[in-house]
Amino acid sequence: MGIEHRKVKKQITFLDALGNPVEGKRLNIKLINHSFLFGCGAFEFIPYVNNGIDELKQLTDSWLDIFNYGTLPFYWGMYETEEGKPNKDALLKTAQFLKGKNVKVKGHPLCWHTACADWLMKYDNETIMRKQLERIDRDVTGFKGVIDMWDVINEVVIMPIFDKYDNAITRICKDKGRVRLIKEVFEKAHECNPEATLLLNDFNTSINYEILIDGCLNAGVPISAIGIQSHQHQGFWGMEKLEEVLERFSSFGLPIHFTENTLISGDLMPGHIVDLNDWQVEDWPTTPEGEERQAKEIETMYRRLFEHPLVEAITTWDFRDGAWLGAPSGFVRKDNSLKPSYNMLKKLVKEEWSTEVTVTTDSNGCVDLEGFKGEYLIEGEGVSEKSEFTDSEPLKISV
Is 212 an interacting residue with respect to a second copy (CB under 8 A)? yes
x/- letters, 141..160, toward a second copy (CB under 8 A)? ----------------x---
The one-character DSSP state at 392 is -
Give the count of beta carbons closer than 10 Å to the beta carbon of residue 284.
19
Query: Helices 239-250 and 207-218: crossing angle, nearest 10°?
Result: 20
Is 251 an interacting residue with respect to a second copy (CB under 8 A)? yes
Own/partner pairs, 59-62, CB within 8 angstroms, 24+ separation: 59/319, 59/320, 59/332, 59/336, 62/319, 62/331, 62/332, 62/336, 62/338, 62/342
Q: How many residues bind a second copy (CB under 8 A)?
A: 21
Cβ 156 to a second copy shortest distance, Å? 9
Is 161 an interacting residue with respect to a second copy (CB under 8 A)? yes
Is 226 an interacting residue with respect to a second copy (CB under 8 A)? no
Judged by phi (left if over 0) then psi (alpha if -120 to 50, else beta), residue 377 lies in beta
Burial class (CB within 10 angstroms; exposed 0-12, middle 13-18, buried 19+) of 258: buried
Cβ atoms of residues 18 and 399 within 8 Å: no
Residue closer to a second copy (CB basis): 103 or 212: 212
User: Which residue in 23, 55, 214, 275 binds a second copy (CB under 8 A)?
Assistant: 214
- Looking at 59-67, 98-106, 206-214, 260-268, which segment touches a second copy (CB under 8 A)? 206-214
x/- letters, 181..200, toward a second copy (CB under 8 A)? --x-----------------
The one-character DSSP state at 351 is I
Tell me how far apart the alpha carbons of residues 64 and 71 are, in angstroms, rounded to a whole number. Answer: 13
- Looking at 1-9, 105-113, 174-182, 226-234, which segment touches a second copy (CB under 8 A)? 174-182
Is 32 an interacting residue with respect to a second copy (CB under 8 A)? no
User: Which residue in 47, 215, 322, 326 binds a second copy (CB under 8 A)?
Assistant: 215
Is 243 an interacting residue with respect to a second copy (CB under 8 A)? no
Collapsing DSSP to helix, strand or coil, 264 comes out as coil
Is 217 an interacting residue with respect to a second copy (CB under 8 A)? yes
Cβ atoms of residues 256 and 205 within 8 Å: no
Binding site for a second copy (CB under 8 A): 157, 161, 174, 177-180, 183, 207-208, 211-212, 214-220, 251-252
